[in-house]
Structure 1
Amino acid sequence: MSQVSTVNSESVVESENEIVESKAPSLWARLGAEVIGTFILVFGGLGAAMWGGLQGASQIPSALAFGLALVVAAIAFGQVSGGHFNPAVTLGAAIAGGIKWLHGLYYVIAQVIGGLLAALILYVTLVRVPAFQTPTEGGGLSSFFGQLANGFDDHSQLKLPMLSAALIEIIATAVFVSVILAVGRLKSNKAVGPFAIGLSLAVLLTVLGPFTNGSLNPARSTAVVFFTDGWAVGQLWLFWVAPLIGAALAGLIYRGFIVTDGDAPRTVADAAPLETEGEQELATVAEGQLAGSQATEAAVPESTVNQEARDFFDGKTSPKSADEAKSKED
């Protein structure tokens, strides 16, 4: 009887794995979600910043717009791609073990494309607006984009030196990515996750505004520089290096001090997001199959498919082995 239960358990696990993998979003679907999500984030944040600049408003509305845009994008597309929308977040997830490195590279390319498309549409839409017209065609808008670009020294509101700008971007990005990784471990109240992440982004951008104009996101920084003066391109490197260092610190700290033995994410390619309706259906099917077997108390081992993006690092429970099931029956 124990031998029959072991066979039934293994067949259930295999069927679970096959169905989960078939329900996993394809790589192209995930990349498309990253393009659209980053577009929403950059379009909403930069658009609000432009309007606020024309009205002489503070940077708080712009920071809130970035945060709310991130909430919207995360809710809409987070279950498809994991809702990174930021190369720094992707790096932190890769170091912590939540996404394959090659897929992470694809994510970064998709994010940069999404940000560039958002900035391009804003530029093309506003280039003929009278408020941005100057004797040099497009010069007014180009100069205005320069006010949205990230910078240091003379291009910082507080004339922040380069090293200080790098330090504050590193620390702020580390905090932001840490929040994302921590939210990914929530096993209850997961609906609050996007709001926690969006609010943390808004708060950090409000703080960083006078220092560097608030980056935290290399894709957002890159989106602006092609539509303004050359100084922005010359200073762009810092707003890639600093956020990536901060994200790497967050990922290393998470992996080294938070993820415990037996809790570390496994590396299985093309993993499906967890807690989906399909996975709940799998649990129901598995219970029905085991109930019909001769094993009265045999438990179904958990799927060995590792999650890749959304809910990065939920704790894993080691599947019960055949020996454990056998001893329990005996």
Structure 2
Amino acid sequence: MARDREPVSTSTSEQRREDAAAWSPTARYLAEFFGTFLLVLGGVGTALFTAGFPSTTDNQTGVGFLGVALAFGLSVMAGIAAVGHISGGHFNPAVTLGLLAAGRTDGRHVPGYLVSQVLGGLAATSVIAAVLSGKQGAFAAAVDSGFASNGFGASSPGGFGLGSVLLAEAVLTGVFVAVILSVTAKQEYQALAPTGIGLTLTLIHLVSIPISNTSVNPARSIATAVYGGAVPLGQLWAFIVAPIVGGVVAGIVVRLVRRRDRH
């Protein structure tokens, strides 16, 4: 039963049992849907509309890799600020499973979170596709270019092979989950959590956009691959498996380290 008080507005209330009871499963799942929708809309939308504006051959007014990296970081910051106090602000299946492995989220909500995240991402790319359809040839051009999907080999922006992409995605997702677990571990860090998480995601994109177009988030990869065509769909498994493995390993390691510290 929810307590008769306002929940604390922090990005970590999902992990705090006294606040968790204040929100219904439906509210949590809608929050994860919205946060993932915002993340994909902001990041992928920037990649497709603004990174190479007005064209890939004449993009002097485009924002480039730096702008795309900032868009993902700012989007996750905004999502955590808006609804993080409701669901914990995961917006990413790898984060949810990593927090589960660390013992920092309630397993009852995990299936609902994963479904909500995937649906939120798909809703965002559907909106992007609808907007692109309003300009002649824009949607077809986006599909031909892979719709900002993740890839390896010929589909990697820098031509990196499968092994390099799997390693980068797993390690960077692990780093991301470890930062989330650390920055949300203590109450005094709560005000800094959205900024720390957002800047970490920005840094991760700056490192790995040339490698894989940066996933570290299966929901983001699924959302773009659906519109990207046969090649992104065929390579999608890598961007589901690697981030989840990285996130879960990070969660397990953090849990073991903290268990030793307590002893």
So what's the TM-score if we normalise by structure 1? 0.69
**Partner of residue 281, structure 1:** none
Q: Give the deviation of 1:229 after TM superposition.
A: 1.8
Decide whether aligned partners of structure 1 residues 155 and 112 sit closer, same or farther in structure 2, where only a CA change above 3 A counts: same
Deviation by residue 1:263-304 (Cα, 9 ceiling, x = unmatched): 9xxxxxxxxxxxxxxxxxxxxxxxxxxxxxxxxxxxxxxxxx
**Partner of residue 279, structure 1:** none
**Partner of residue 75, structure 2:** 69
So what's the TM-score if we normalise by structure 2? 0.86
Give 1:54's aligned amino acid: F
**Partner of residue 143, structure 2:** 142
Verify the 8 A CA contact 1:52 1:61 in the aligned structure 2. yes
**Partner of residue 320, structure 1:** none
For residues 66 and 88 of structure 1, the distance between their equivalents in structure 2, rounded to whole angstroms, comes to 16
Q: Give the deviation of 1:54 after TM superposition.
A: 3.0
Alignment partner of 1:182: what SS? Answer: helix
For residues 74 and 160 of structure 1, the distance between their equivalents in structure 2, rounded to whole angstroms, comes to 32
Give 2:130's aligned amino acid: V
Verify the 8 A CA contact 2:147 2:224 in the aligned structure 1. no
Query: Which structure has the larger Rg?
Result: 1
Aligned length: 243
**Where do residues 15-94 of structure 1 align in structure 2 (5 Å cutoff)?**
20=18, 24-50=22-48, 51-55=50-54, 56=59, 57=62, 58-94=64-100
For residues 96 and 148 of structure 2, the distance between their equivalents in structure 1, rounded to whole angstroms, comes to 24
**Partner of residue 323, structure 1:** none
Decide whether aligned partners of structure 1 residues 87 and 16 sit closer, same or farther in structure 2, where only a CA change above 3 A counts: closer
**Partner of residue 232, structure 1:** 232
Percentage of pairs with the same residue:
38
Deviation by residue 1:182-241 (Cα, 9 ceiling, x = unmatched): 011122142111000000000101110000000010000000111122000000000000
Decide whether aligned partners of structure 1 residues 251 and 23 sit closer, same or farther in structure 2, where only a CA change above 3 A counts: closer
Verify the 8 A CA contact 2:33 2:116 in the aligned structure 1. yes
**Partner of residue 8, structure 2:** none
Q: Give the deviation of 1:112 after TM superposition.
A: 0.3
Verify the 8 A CA contact 2:69 2:205 in the aligned structure 1. yes
Deviation by residue 1:69-124 (Cα, 9 ceiling, x = unmatched): 10000011000000000000000111111223341121011000000000000101
For residues 211 and 180 of structure 2, the distance between their equivalents in structure 1, rounded to whole angstroms, comes to 23
Q: Give the deviation of 1:18 after TM superposition.
A: 8.9
Q: Give the deviation of 1:261 after TM superposition.
A: 7.0
For residues 166 and 38 of structure 1, the distance between their equivalents in structure 2, rounded to whole angstroms, comes to 23
Q: Tell whether 2:188 aligns with 1:182.
A: no
Q: Give the deviation of 1:17 after TM superposition.
A: 7.7
Deviation by residue 1:7-41 (Cα, 9 ceiling, x = unmatched): xxxxxxxx998985895201111000000011011
For residues 2 and 153 of structure 2, the distance between their equivalents in structure 1, rounded to whole angstroms, comes to 56
- Tell me the C-alpha RMSD between the 2 structures: 2.2
For residues 186 and 78 of structure 1, the distance between their equivalents in structure 2, rounded to whole angstroms, comes to 16
Give 2:202's aligned amino acid: A
For residues 2 and 184 of structure 2, the distance between their equivalents in structure 1, rounded to whole angstroms, comes to 23
**Where do residues 98-177 of structure 1 align in structure 2 (5 Å cutoff)?**
98-130=104-136, 132=138, 138-144=139-145, 146=146, 148-177=148-177
Q: Give the deviation of 1:262 after TM superposition.
A: 6.0
- Unmatched segments (≥5 aa) in structure 1: 1-14, 133-137, 264-330
Relative to total residues, which structure has the larger helix share, 1 or 2? Answer: 2
Q: Give the deviation of 1:48 after TM superposition.
A: 1.0
- Unmatched segments (≥5 aa) in structure 2: 6-17
For residues 185 and 99 of structure 1, the distance between their equivalents in structure 2, rounded to whole angstroms, comes to 12
Give 2:115's aligned amino acid: I
For residues 81 and 34 of structure 1, the distance between their equivalents in structure 2, rounded to whole angstroms, comes to 7
